[in-house]
Chains A and B, each alone.
Chain A
């Protein structure tokens, strides 16, 4: 004969249900918090990429042949060598 469960069973079921709800809430909060962290990291990556690009532009401009040629001529008095000044290493 079927018998109604006791208060203990209801208590256990309620505790399990509560634990599931709290777990879900905790996971959801973690998802949101990780989502913010991901978004922040993405922004940081973007900012670092921009900085890298800015430095790349600076680097390319600083090492451009025209710039180096001007610096070599103006500051160091250098010029294209004559044939007898060229030594080719074997």
Chain B
């Protein structure tokens, strides 16, 4: 009996020893491994990617910001057998082609993204379907609420919220923000219990631009209208503040929607204002004359013989659109004489001319804070032949980006001082600390202040009656500017017979410029002259911008803008004579903004094209002059009450 008891006790003791040994093994030998395994079951470490910082305009309007989103994925092997029935539903909710959904669900891969960056509302609809094998992962999505507005400037991001173009790319390191981690626990049902560390949202930065949303909209609207109306291939507009060189607007056509950049060709996503160059044509004459005045090689009144329209240089003949005999330097600019410019260029000399063009910033990057800028093309003067100097004098053979030219004119407007253009004014942290700031950065004094004032006075004559830029005139303001019409390069060599670039660049008010505006229209089909196609774009943008900014009219310009409290101000006059209605506005003939539809807009058309359009739309027209339609009015009506459009045509440049 006692033996049996001893045996049982021995076995129990042995068992106890085994258990103790196992316990020791688990808690001592395998301690770290098992602790790690256990922690893996209830603890979780999560990487928190901060929401990408917002991009706002100068008034704080959000042009780009990020929102929480879901990325839907599937494990095809785990999908139910009857998933085919879900394809139309998924395609509907996710706005995807059914074929694409079908291909994803039938994929042989173990893991496939169905759609990334889905808004939470859409994702919850999908989740409600409760399809096994279909799940989601939290992510973020970039939103551009104004869609195409300033798209080329803002750029866009990829699905991983990394900037690929524009501001998004240039300031990616600020916008992305620092990645952090959270440590938490989960219960048996995978519910989060406690988050340790990183509970606070990581700090992100806000990028404030110099851009003004309203001016940007005005620029884009007028540019799009001009490009559509002239059936041009493309166009761009820059509005620059010449006192600081801050970019206020930067528009281009064609453009794209950064919410869906993949739907647009690369050509539409390229920022043409800094990554395309063109031969500026006559707009370069202002820089030539400024250089010649500054170097004291000419005076405004010096006579220049313009050879009656044809000037032989070596084996080449230079032509003017209209033949001129003798013109003053002022007249050369006002009439945009190529021959006159060529002779001023020859008087200045190629070395001086090149030095001034370089000093104005041509042939080098402006160092604007945007990616993808090119230098333009300013060949060294040592390689210039006589014909090269002559053609460069009227803006052919030298290539500039639109921003370079805008900056050069801004230097004229800024008393001869060239500055670095910029588009980001500051970057602010979530605590309000300014971590990066941009401001006016002088580069060099290109010409004397007095010369800048003299050239502005000359450029005012260009916009006066009789000048090529008269359609840029704004009632009540002194405007200084220059038209340009240049030939495009033919890919087969030489210059294109038909391809032209029409441009206008100006500053307003001329006595103390607040805005420098450049409008470039690429390959217009209706009319090709800068004074006909681009000057009205400048005029429309400048007029609205000045009103928006509350800029007072120029003294002595017969301004109609009234200052409340001034002796001339009368509320009675305002309420009676200025009472507004679209009909009255249109009937008054000033129908550039209202009352003119696509069907009855004849501006910029040749007489033949205007007659064809009028016939097609059943309209009656009366034409006066020759060239292109520069003005249209509804003067009277026929006995049957139909409108008769009176068109004024003018030749240009």
Docked complex: B129-173 residues within 8 A CB-CB of A: 143, 145-146, 149
Task: Kindly specify which of A1-9, A10-18, A19-27, A59-67 makes contact with the partner chain.
Answer: A59-67
Closest to A65 in B: B217
Q: List, in ascending order, chain A residues with CB within 8 A of B149's CB.
A: 64-66
Q: Which B residue's beta carbon lies closest to that of A31?
A: B194
Given B217, B582, B585, which contacts A66 in the complex, CB threshold below 8 Å? B217
A88 touches B476 (CB 8 A): no
Question: In the complex, what residues of B have CB within 8 A of residue A90's CB?
Answer: 563-565
In the bound assembly, the distance between CA atoms of A56 and B577 in angstroms comes to: 41
Partner of B560, one of A56, A69, A82: A82
* B592 nearest CB neighbor, chain A only: A80
In the complex, B103 has a CB within 8 A of chain A = no
**CB <8 Å contact, A39 and B559:** no
Given the contacts A65-B214, A79-B582, A88 and B561 also touching, CB distance less than 8 Å: yes
Q: Which of B185, B221, B552, B580 contacts A88 (CB 8 A)?
A: B552
Q: A66 with B146: in contact, given A53-B68, A79-B585, A87-B562 (CB under 8 Å)?
A: yes
Contacts of B194 in A (CB 8 A): 31-32, 34-35, 38-39
B258 to chain A, nearest CB (A): 14
B586's nearest neighbour on chain A, judged by CB, is A79
Inter-subunit contact A60/B146 (CB<8 Å): yes
Determine if B191 is an interface residue (Cβ-Cβ < 8 Å).
Answer: yes
| In the bound complex, CA of A89 to CA of B561 (Å) | 11
Question: B555 within 8 Å of A by Cβ?
Answer: no
Hey, what's the 0/1 contact readout for B199-237 against A, CB within 8 Å counting as 1? Answer: 100000000000001100110010000000000000000
B interface residues, how many (CB within 8 angstroms): 50
Contacts of B217 in A (CB 8 A): 64-66, 69
Nearest CB of chain B from residue A45's CB, rounded to whole Å = 9
For B550, the chain A residues whose CB sits under 8 A away are: 88
User: Which of A39, A83, A89 contacts B195 (CB under 8 A)?
Assistant: A39
User: Interface size for chain A: under 10, 10 to 19, 20 to 34, or 35 or more residues?
Assistant: 35 or more
Of chain A, the residue at the smallest CB distance from B119 is A54
User: Is there contact, CB below 8 Å, between B564 and A89?
Assistant: yes
Least Cβ distance of B245 to chain A in Å? 24
In the complex, chain B residues 331-390 whose Cβ is within 8 Å of any chain A Cβ: none
B221 contacts across to A, CB distance below 8 A: 66, 69
User: Total contacts A to B, CB within 8 angstroms?
Assistant: 116
Contacts of A39 in B (CB 8 A): 184, 191-195
B585 lies within 8 A of A83 (CB): no
Complex CA–CA separation, A82 to B579 (angstroms): 11
Most buried by A among B475, B550, B580: B580
Residues A83 and B68 in contact in the complex (CB < 8 Å), given A31-B194, A39-B192, A61-B145: no
A14 CB → nearest B CB, Å: 26
B590 at the interface (CB under 8 A from A): yes
* Residues of chain A within 8 A of B563, CB atoms compared: 87-88, 90
CB contacts (< 8 Å) of B218 on chain A: these are 65
Complex contact A73–B594 (CB within 8 A): yes
Which among B59-67, B303-311, B620-628 touches the partner chain? B59-67
Cα distance A60–B544 in the bound complex, in angstroms: 22
Chain A min CB distance to B207 (Å): 16
- In the complex, the answer to whether B564 meets A64 with C-beta atoms within 8 Å is no
B195/A38 in contact, CB under 8 A? yes
Contacts of A69 in B (CB 8 A): 217, 221
The residue among B146, B476, B543, B581 with the most chain A CB atoms within 10 A of its own CB is: B146
**One of A54, A73, A82 near B590 (C-beta < 8 A):** A82
Contact of B561 among A50, A57, A73, A86 (CB under 8 A): A86
CB of B50 within 8 A of chain A?
no
Looking at the assembled complex, report how far the CB atom of B365 sits from the nearest CB atom of chain A, in whole angstroms.
31
Chain A, residue nearest B214 (CB) = A65
In angstroms, how far is the closest chain A Cβ from the Cβ of B512?
A: 16
- Residue in B closest to A81 when the chains form the complex, CB atoms: B547
| B476 nearest in chain A by CB position | A83
Q: How far is the CA of A83 from the CA of B580 in the complex (A)?
A: 12
A-B contact pairs, 25 of them (CB 8 A): A35-B195, A36-B193, A38-B195, A53-B65, A56-B62, A57-B67, A57-B145, A60-B62, A60-B145, A79-B582, A80-B543, A82-B578, A82-B585, A83-B476, A83-B553, A85-B574, A86-B561, A86-B562, A87-B564, A87-B574, A88-B564, A89-B564, A90-B563, A90-B564, A90-B565
Residues of A within 8 A of B (CB): 31-32, 34-36, 38-39, 42, 46, 49-50, 53-54, 56-57, 60-61, 64-66, 69, 73, 77, 79-90
Spell out B's residues near A (CB within 8 Å).
61-62, 65, 67-68, 120-121, 143, 145-146, 149, 184-185, 191-195, 199, 213-214, 217-218, 221, 475-476, 543-544, 547, 550, 552-553, 559-565, 569, 574, 577-578, 580-582, 585, 590, 593-594
Q: Apart from A53-B143, A64-B217, what 18 extra A-B contacts exist at CB < 8 Å?
A: A35-B193, A35-B194, A39-B184, A53-B65, A56-B62, A60-B146, A61-B145, A65-B214, A79-B594, A80-B543, A80-B547, A80-B594, A82-B590, A83-B543, A83-B560, A85-B580, A86-B562, A87-B561
| 5 tightest Cβ-Cβ pairs between the two chains A and B | A35-B194, A84-B560, A60-B145, A65-B217, A35-B193
